[in-house]
A and B are shown apart, each in its own frame.
Chain A
């Protein structure tokens, strides 16, 4: 108990010393209260004009940044999804185009083959016709020639014999000549 009293006494002495020192340095209650009021007014006004609006703005900005980052992530994911879809569509289009090209190539080959066959057939037909025409011409020319040769034989025979051949002789001679030429 004595220790407590001693302790309290020391505290009281120290407080007294502090008070004396404070008063020596101009501490007094009215000025102290005035400064307390001044400080509280400064704190209140700084809170109103500085801390509150600035911390609110900073908080809003922090939220906006967080939101922006989240949106950016979302956009990035959507972009990746869209890119994948685009690639898929592109691949499908490529496959389809390749298929169409292949089909077109096959069709073109078929058409080409058909047209070639048609052209060959037409050419063969033309050649056959040409052969036929040539054979007919040849036959006609041969007939003409035989006829001419027959006439020449008759003419020559008449000239040589001096005798004018009767139409029956001429006919017989011509036929004989023709037969021999044909042989």
Chain B
């Protein structure tokens, strides 16, 4: 978030004279720092939250940018087309190296969207003004924005869990497509490795029990994915906010190093989310023999 311009926002921001509308309970419970949840812009009962606005702005920006870049494709790319070609090709090659050429064909759209959207949303949240322009009230240290107009898209658990769940749905579809229902269950509960006799029976029992652990682990994947991203971005925003308010006279300087770190965190988190989802997909779609070929090839 653009916490560094907190002081700037106090003087010039879109701050209505009306008193602050009622806040969600979660926001009120946050105390100092950034509210724990996205806030409704229409007051209590309003549906559209400040994080949703950022999500839509970023989405619209990406779509318009992509559309304008590819509207008139040229054989020799230049400008925006060149940038998008570089981005898409780099991502495609990167993912192809991880999950293989066949699997990437059907899954690229999701992983690429995950990476691009998370990265754009994370970086958009660092633009000065995000989180610091909005509604508020006069406090002891001047005007305090308590309900910002914009909030980082991934600082909303609804957004991160939405991406996780979309991934899990497609993960399941691709897993069934690659393995079939029997193969999928066999992948979870089937005994791995080659053994005979009593050892084989033992392995079957062990792997059957391990299958439940696997289901347990898989069930928590969307939770870990969504909380990891949300936690990192939300913590980053809080840190920037804290740095901005730590020494008021240095509020323009202290957050600057952390901005660079947040730029890096934005990339890393987008990469982590994308890589984990890609690897989860690869693991379920690969042959047990480890011959490097996905079921999806068949």
| Chains A and B are bound partners | yes
Main SS of the interface on chain B? helix
Contact string against A for B residues 154-181, beta-carbon threshold 8 Å, 1 for contact and 0 otherwise: 0011110111011000000000000000
- Indicate which residue in A31, A42, A43, A58 contacts B85 across the interface (CB closer than 8 Å): A58
A39 & B88 in contact (Cβ 8 Å cutoff)? no
Selected interface stretch from A19-27, A93-101, A135-143, A146-154:
A19-27
Q: How far is the CA of A85 from the CA of B162 in the complex (A)?
A: 70
A46 & B220 in contact (Cβ 8 Å cutoff)? no
Tell me the nearest residue of chain B to A14, going by C-beta: B220
- Indicate which residue in A15, A28, A38 contacts B59 across the interface (CB closer than 8 Å): A38
Selected interface stretch from A47-55, A105-113, A122-130, A166-174:
A47-55
Number of A-B pairs, beta carbon distance below 8 Å: 129
B55 to chain A: which residues have CB within 8 Å? 35, 38
Main SS of the interface on chain A? helix
B161 & A22 in contact (Cβ 8 Å cutoff)? yes
B residues 247-266 near A (Cβ < 8 Å) are: none
Contact string against A for B residues 72-95, beta-carbon threshold 8 Å, 1 for contact and 0 otherwise: 010100000000110011001000
Q: How far is the CA of A41 from the CA of B223 in the complex (A)?
A: 22
In the complex where A26-B156, A36-B165 touch, is A31 in contact with B59 (Cβ < 8 A)? Answer: no
A45 & B63 in contact (Cβ 8 Å cutoff)? yes
B89 & A35 in contact (Cβ 8 Å cutoff)? no
Q: How far is the CA of A38 from the CA of B161 in the complex (A)?
A: 13
**Residue A34, interface by CB 8 Å:** yes
Tell me the nearest residue of chain B to A64, going by C-beta: B75
In the complex where A32-B158, A38-B59 touch, is A50 in contact with B166 (Cβ < 8 A)? Answer: no
B84 to chain A: which residues have CB within 8 Å? 50, 54
A51 & B166 in contact (Cβ 8 Å cutoff)? no
Tell me the nearest residue of chain B to A8, going by C-beta: B212
Tell me the nearest residue of chain A to B113, going by C-beta: A43
Tell me the nearest residue of chain B to A50, going by C-beta: B66
In the complex where A35-B55, A51-B108 touch, is A25 in contact with B162 (Cβ < 8 A)? Answer: no
Tell me the nearest residue of chain B to A47, going by C-beta: B109
Which of B62, B116, B158, B219 has the most C-beta atoms of chain A within 10 angstroms of its own C-beta? B158
A46 to chain B: which residues have CB within 8 Å? 62-63, 66, 109, 112-113, 116-117
In the complex where A7-B212, A46-B112, A51-B112 touch, is A26 in contact with B37 (Cβ < 8 A)? Answer: yes
A residues 45-73 near B (Cβ < 8 Å) are: 45-47, 49-51, 53-55, 57-58, 61
CB distance from A58 to the nearest CB of B (A): 6
**Residue A162, interface by CB 8 Å:** no
Contact string against A for B residues 45-79, beta-carbon threshold 8 Å, 1 for contact and 0 otherwise: 00101001001100100110011011001010000
CB distance from B148 to the nearest CB of A (A): 14
Q: How far is the CA of A119 from the CA of B97 in the complex (A)?
A: 95
Q: How far is the CA of A29 from the CA of B55 in the complex (A)?
A: 17
CB distance from A27 to the nearest CB of B (A): 5
Q: How far is the CA of A26 from the CA of B50 in the complex (A)?
A: 12
B67 to chain A: which residues have CB within 8 Å? 45, 49
A51 & B63 in contact (Cβ 8 Å cutoff)? no
A49 & B85 in contact (Cβ 8 Å cutoff)? no
B66 & A26 in contact (Cβ 8 Å cutoff)? no
**Residue A134, interface by CB 8 Å:** no
**Residue B189, interface by CB 8 Å:** no
B36 & A55 in contact (Cβ 8 Å cutoff)? no
Contact string against A for B residues 94-136, beta-carbon threshold 8 Å, 1 for contact and 0 otherwise: 0000000000000011101100110000000000000000000
Supplied contacts A22-B161, A47-B113, 18 more A-B pairs, CB within 8 Å = A7-B216, A25-B36, A27-B37, A27-B158, A31-B156, A32-B158, A33-B162, A35-B161, A36-B162, A38-B55, A42-B63, A49-B66, A50-B70, A50-B84, A51-B88, A51-B109, A55-B88, A58-B88
By a beta-carbon cutoff of 8 Å, the part of chain A in contact with chain B is 4, 7, 11, 14-15, 18, 21-22, 24-28, 30-36, 38-43, 45-47, 49-51, 53-55, 57-58, 61
List 8 A–B pairs whose Cβ atoms lie within 8 Å, in order of A's numbering.
Answer: A24-B26, A25-B36, A26-B36, A28-B158, A32-B162, A33-B162, A35-B159, A38-B59
